[in-house]
Amino acid sequence: MQQYFVNTLFENECLSLDKEQSHHILHVLRMKEHEKIRIVDKEGVVYLSEIHICGKQVIAQRLQMLPPNISPISITLALALIKKERFDFAIQKACELGVKQIQPFVSSRCVVKCKKDDANRKMERWNKIALEACEQCKRTDLVEVMPPCSINDLIGMHADVKLCAYEHADHHANALKNILKKQNTVQSFLCVIGPEGGFQESEAKTLISHGFLCTSLGPRILRAETAAMSIVNTISVFYES
């Protein structure tokens, strides 16, 4: 069942979907009068709704409230800027796997840079990808992709547990599963994943000196987007099982 996020509340049991949503229902999904969709309002409440077609406009009629689908753990994924297709893919899959927020950042080995004149365009695309991924996987909370920051900005971000995935970590002593077993009562994680070339040793040491736990994701070297999916999924499964 298709889901849509709206920036309003139901009034008199009905609300009008915007032009893009109406077009998607009528011309992409080719839905008919009285078919059912899910609507998530601005307060994160999800409703089973019935559509009514008025020309090019689609009206959603609220039928009943549905249970929320929110992860019990808050995960912020801090991912270094990587190539466009891979970063877009990472955003989509991270949303599906349960992250709360995505924080792009720039480190010394980033091949991709985010210039000021195209930052707004990238932010718009990233957040649209996140929105569509949240709708597709039936989340009832939206994932926000934040403006890119520096690696030093990550130090001041708050989380109960801060993790740095580092390829030179001991994959036995610093295995993620061992860290999680010691942190099973926390509510929030900040997970930092470096770029294609990994972290410089000085960058990893800086993060560790500011309370980040250096962790291994296994004996194999993973691509940045694979590492992001691995750490998010492992944490999500650990706390949602």
Q: Residues 99, 18: one domain?
A: no
User: Can you tell me the distance from the alpha carbon of 13 to that of 61, in angstroms, rounded to the nearest whole number?
Assistant: 6
Q: The domain that contains 27 carries what CATH number?
A: 2.40.240.20
Chain centre distance of CA 217: 20
Of 49, 172, 155, the closest CA to residue 105 belongs to 155
Contact between 187 and 74 under an 8 Å Cβ cutoff? The reply is: yes
Asked if the model's pLDDT at residue 36 lies above 90, the reply is yes
Give the three-class secondary structure for 79: strand
Per-residue tokens: 79: 């991912």
* The total number of structural domains that make up the chain: 2
Indicate the residue among 66, 87, 103 that finishes a domain.
Answer: 66
What's the angle, vertex CA 123, arms to CA 119 and CA 128, rounded to 5? Answer: 155
Q: Residues 231, 114: one domain?
A: yes
Give the three-class secondary structure for 220: coil
pLDDT tens-digit series, residues 176-233: 888 888 877 889 999 999 888 888 888 988 999 999 998 888 888 889 999 999 999 9
pLDDT tens-digit series, residues 101-127: 999 998 877 777 777 667 788 999 999
Q: Residues 20, 117: one domain?
A: no
Task: For residue 186, give the amino acid letter.
Answer: V
Contact between 183 and 241 under an 8 Å Cβ cutoff? The reply is: no
Q: Residues 54, 102: one domain?
A: no
Domain range for 47: 3-66
Q: The domain that contains 90 carries what CATH number?
A: 3.40.1280.10
Q: Residues 33, 134: one domain?
A: no
